[in-house]
Structure 1
Amino acid sequence: MNRAPDRHRNTALAALIVAAAALAGCNDRQATPPQPVRPVLSVIAEPRPQQRLSVAGTVQPQIRTDMSFRVLGRVIARDVRVGDLIAKNQLLAAIDPTQLELAVRAARADLVSAQAQLVNAQATETRQRALLESRTATEATFETAEQAREAAQASAARAAASLAKAQEQLGYARILAEFDGVVTAVGAEVGQVASPGMTVVSIARPDLRDAVVDVPDGIGGQLAVGTRFDVVLQVNPALKVRGEVREIAPQADPVTRSLRVKIALRDAPEAFRLGATITATLKARTPPRIELPRSTLVERDGKTLLWVVDPATSTVVLREVWLGERTDQTIVVAGGLEAGARVVTAGVNSLSAGQKVRVEEGPRS
């Protein structure tokens, strides 16, 4: 008799369970939070004039020669010191010439002996020719005399060459200045045994001078032979001369990542002495350029990209650009990016196209 009320109670309970489940599903859907707006650091890409290149360096000679002996010997004289002004063909140093003089004497004696043998051989050949013409000597005897004369002639020529070589080596016992200049270094003292090729005296031409500077690799790559610089003395900035790049090192120093640049000085006064410290400033003014932190760079599929913030929607979009100069810290945008664009500077590898962002100012470009 109680079955009908039980059935009604079960139906009501099932309806309550279904309603609770539906309500729970609605609550779950409503509990899903929207995608958060990501804060990003960014900068405004603004063209700025490049800073004028100004680097320190020293005055060095364009021509410097290391003078050395060509033969082994003991140094018996060194007539110059560092800083001395010298004239062309002035004696700089000498080694003991005794052994070389003896070699010259021996070579001269050998030549005299060879010449005497040649005279004797020539006389013998003349006699044998006369006897052959009078038919009192055989032709074989004459040919022997002729061969002896030719051998003696060759021996005399060899002895003459040996004498010339010995005399030349005797001349190597002294070092003479090859041009007017100044002594910049000495490498041997009196009494020291100098080997061939060992630097004894270094001389330089003081009239041809360079301002030698080291510039960053990125900037040095933009210089060319003939680029003009203003060069001033650090001890007296009022003294200024013009200079032009004469030589640029073919590769950067592996440690400092700088290029050695030699700037030829034009009409430099005497105050620009060798070794003086100078400051060289690039004369040419370069046009403004957009320079950004290297952290903005995204490289995908062989393309160079930047994340640019769309101010209307506050979303990011990838923009392909073309770069000029790049260093370990900065990049120069040569094309593909308009001035005034806002570029993301951090976390560029974790962004996605169309993602909403909140702009936070970073350091200015």
Structure 2
Amino acid sequence: MNRRSCLAPVMVLTLTAVLAGCKQEREPPPPPRPALTMLVEPSAALDMVFSGAIQPQVQTPVGFRVVGRMISRPVNAGDRVEKGESLAAIDPLSLEMAARAATANLASARAQFDNAASTETRQAALLEKKTTSQAAFDNAEQERAAARANMEQAEANLAKAREQLSYAVLKADYSGVVTAIDAEVGQTVSPGQPILAIAEPTRRDAVIDAPGNDIDALQVGQTFDVSLQIDPARTVKGAVREIAPEADAVTRTRRVKIALDNPPQSFRIGATIFARAVTGADDMIRIPDSSLLRVGDKAQVFVVDPSSSKVELRDVEIAPDRTPKRWIVRAGLKAGERIVTAGVHRLTAGESVRIYGSEAP
């Protein structure tokens, strides 16, 4: 075989390999992927306004402890009452008769005791003279003890009857304002049935109903500016003192009670108000839903390295924001860092990106 013809295939293969190597060396790296990003900055922790009403912190329904027909109720809704003042009364006739019967029973029991005590004294004197038996003296002593027990029982029954008679008049346990009337004169009321309600007026709450998204951003101690709807210029400070643990079955809102700090008289019970959340020093970082990459129970974001323009995948702790498709970052990001806000499902950790536009935080 011709030597030249044998070397030809080898030279062709060698030349092909050389050309392929040159092509690989000359092929430029893939361009950075365009990425829409944003600088994360803290924003107002809360920017919420709710409507609600002024309610007392302490409000007590009061009622009689005994059954009877109500014959008077000198107070009405809105009246101010003092501690010990009469609020209502029931017909005391049956209670007075019970007290009289208890008094008579006590008088009878005392007479029986006096008689038994005298008999015991006589039997003791006769026993000393040996003119009566020990059994007769023991019997007299037992009768005296039984008569004493009956007398003590009668005394207790009289005290109970007098106490029951005192329940015929309903009195205020503390000074306050009558906020509700639940029974009218002439009505027969049962023990414990609410007759009216009294509110302690010095401590007042602004009560609002907040939806679930807002509740996640609230906490006990959160400050509010509360103003009257009829006079927005009148504003007082308040702080959340109670958040209902369960949502209302119909509205799916949760009740929030804001304790007012020295409210003026114009903030009357029942007045409608606006409550605006006051931003605290710990402002929150908010990011759009499109920047999140979810892997199981984890939430992650791509953080752009400013020196290399490469992205780093980082775990973050988030909570729902009141604005739809927004999330509050509780941990994992710092102010001033840049994150990718679109196309995160097509990125990989360590990939270079080119910042394309920017989104406001």
Q: TM-score, normalised by structure 1?
A: 0.76
8 A contact 2:179–2:198 mirrored in 1? yes
Does the 8 A contact of 2:38 with 2:359 survive in 1? no
Deviations along 1:159-207, one digit per CA (max 9) or x if unpaired, are: 1101111111111111111222211001111122211111101111222
Q: Aligned-pair distance for 1:109?
A: 1.5
Deviates more, 1:67-76 or 1:354-363: 354-363
Q: Offset at 1:77?
A: 1.4
Aligned-residue CA RMSD in angstroms?
3.3
Structure 2 distance, partners of 1:280, 1:101, is: 54
> What are the equivalent positions in structure 2 for 1:69-218 lying under 5 Å apart?
69-215=64-210, 216-218=214-216
Identify unmatched segments of 5+ residues in structure 2: 1-30
In 2, distance between residues paired with 1:256 and 1:148?
Answer: 71
Show the counterpart of 2:292: 297
Query: SS of 2:178's equivalent?
Result: strand
| Structure 1 unmatched ranges of 5 or more | 1-36
- The equivalent residue for 1:18 is none
Deviation at 1:343?
2.2
* Aligned residues of 2:90 and 2:168 also touching (Cα < 8 A): yes
Distance 1:185 1:136 in 2: 75
* Cα shift readout 1:305-345 (whole Å, capped 9, x = no counterpart): 12457899998x56223325434743223324663524235
Instruction: Sort the Cα spacing of 1:335 and 1:155 in 2 relative to 1 into closer, same or farther, 3 A.
Output: same
Q: Deviations over 1:108-136 (max 9, x none)?
A: 12111111110110011011001001110
Distance 1:40 1:241, change over 3 A: same
Pick from 329, 332, 337 the counterpart of residue 335 of structure 1: 332
C-alpha separation between the residues in 1 aligned to 2:57 and 2:233? 24
1-structure distance, mates of 2:65, 2:34: 71
Are 1:67 and 2:65 an aligned pair? no
Letter in 2 for 1:330: R
Q: Is the 8 A contact 1:75 1:189 kept in 2?
A: yes
* Distance in 2 between residues matched to 1:342 and 1:265, nearest whole Å: 42
Alpha-carbon distance between aligned partners in 1 of 2:332 and 2:157, rounded to the nearest angstrom: 73
Cα distance in 1 for partners of 2:276, 2:296 equals 41
The residue identity in structure 2 corresponding to 1:332 is I
Write out aligned runs for 1:284-363 (5 A). 284-300=279-295, 303-307=298-302, 319-327=313-321, 329-333=325-329, 334-336=331-333, 339=336, 341-345=338-342
Question: Which shows bigger deviation, 51-60 or 135-144?
Answer: 51-60
Q: Give the structure 2 partner of residue 44 of structure 1.
A: 38
TM superposition score normalised by structure 2: 0.77
Q: How does 1:1-20 map to 2 (within 5 A)?
A: none
CA contact (8 A) 2:53 2:272 kept: yes
Q: Do the aligned partners of 1:293 and 1:345 also contact (CA within 8 Å) in 2? A: no
The whole-number CA distance in structure 2 between the counterparts of 1:294 and 1:251 is 27
Q: Report sequence identity in percent.
A: 40
Q: Secondary structure at the match of 2:207?
A: strand
CA distance in 2, matches of 1:172, 1:296: 68
Native 8 Å contact 1:46 1:340 kept in 2: yes
* Structure 1 residues 300 and 284, CA gap change in structure 2 (3 angstroms): closer
Q: Is 1:249 matched up with 2:246?
A: no
**SS of alignment partner, residue 219 of structure 1:** coil
Could you tell me which residue of structure 2 aligns to residue 220 of structure 1? Answer: 218
Q: Deviation digits for residues 224-244 of structure 1, max 9, x if unmatched?
A: 2xx543332221122223334
The one-letter amino acid of 1:89's match is G
